[in-house]
């Protein structure tokens, strides 16, 4: 099976960030699947690719994973608006990649929720393809709740985008994967998902 895997903040162990997607991709490959990882360029992430980008991206095999890195520099030090712009650029460019690539299952993992946009669009454009969405953390519920988001306008914008994306993801996803034990209770309330 060919899995087209979207994780904007993907990193190999050479980076200074989480490697859950790297480890999952390696396990899938060990079980005979093919994995294409579509990611961005992160401040602390290392994709394992070297060399110059062509047309704003680069591609290569890293530890058996077919990695497509979109040249979108991201840092937590960027402003909220700049980060949001980068999230949507990633989603837009990833959607074009999903349209061109051959795959059996599209798998997208948050954060951010915008990583699910290619899956939403492809479920409409390629209805026979399966789409699985993984929820990895409580963004933006947590920073909104503890008022890490700076203004009420920013909180309103985040909540509106979150509600729209959650609605579409609930409608079009074939399955949800919850990566944290605390998530089922939160998602039962905020996403109104059945949790088994």
What does the pLDDT look like over 105-122, one tens digit per residue?
999 998 788 899 999 999
CA angle 131, 137, 143 (to 5 degrees): 130
> Rounded to two decimals, what is the model's pTM?
0.85
Structure confidence by residue, pLDDT tens digits, 145-196: 655 556 777 777 777 877 788 888 888 999 887 776 555 555 555 555 554 4
CA angle 187, 169, 188 (to 5 degrees): 15
Whole-number pLDDT of residue 94 = 96
| Residue 112: DSSP 8-state | S
Whole-number pLDDT of residue 83 = 81
* Chosen CATH of 2-190 out of 3.60.9.10, 3.40.50.2000, 3.40.50.970, 3.20.20.70: 3.40.50.2000
């Amino acid at each position: 099976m060919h899995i087209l895997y979207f994780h904007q903040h993907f990193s190999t162990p050479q980076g200074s960030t989480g490697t859950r997607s790297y480890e999952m991709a390696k396990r899938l490959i060990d079980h005979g699947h093919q994995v294409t990882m579509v990611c961005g360029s992160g401040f602390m992430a290392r994709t394992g690719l070297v060399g110059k980008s062509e047309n704003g991206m680069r591609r290569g095999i890293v530890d058996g994973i077919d990695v497509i890195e979109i040249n979108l520099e991201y840092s937590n030090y960027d402003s909220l608006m700049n980060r949001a712009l980068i999230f949507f650029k990633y989603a837009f460019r990833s959607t074009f990649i999903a349209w061109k690539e051959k795959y059996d299952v599209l798998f997208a993992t948050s954060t951010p929720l915008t990583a699910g946009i290619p899956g939403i669009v492809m479920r409409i454009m390629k209805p026979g393809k399966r789409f699985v969405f993984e929820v990895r953390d409580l963004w933006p519920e947590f920073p909104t709740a503890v008022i890490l988001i700076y203004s009420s306008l920013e909180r309103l914008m985040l909540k509106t985008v979150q509600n729209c994306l959650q609605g579409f993801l609930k409608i079009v996803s074939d399955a949800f994967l919850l990566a944290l034990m605390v998530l089922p209770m939160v998602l039962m309330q905020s996403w109104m998902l059945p949790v088994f």
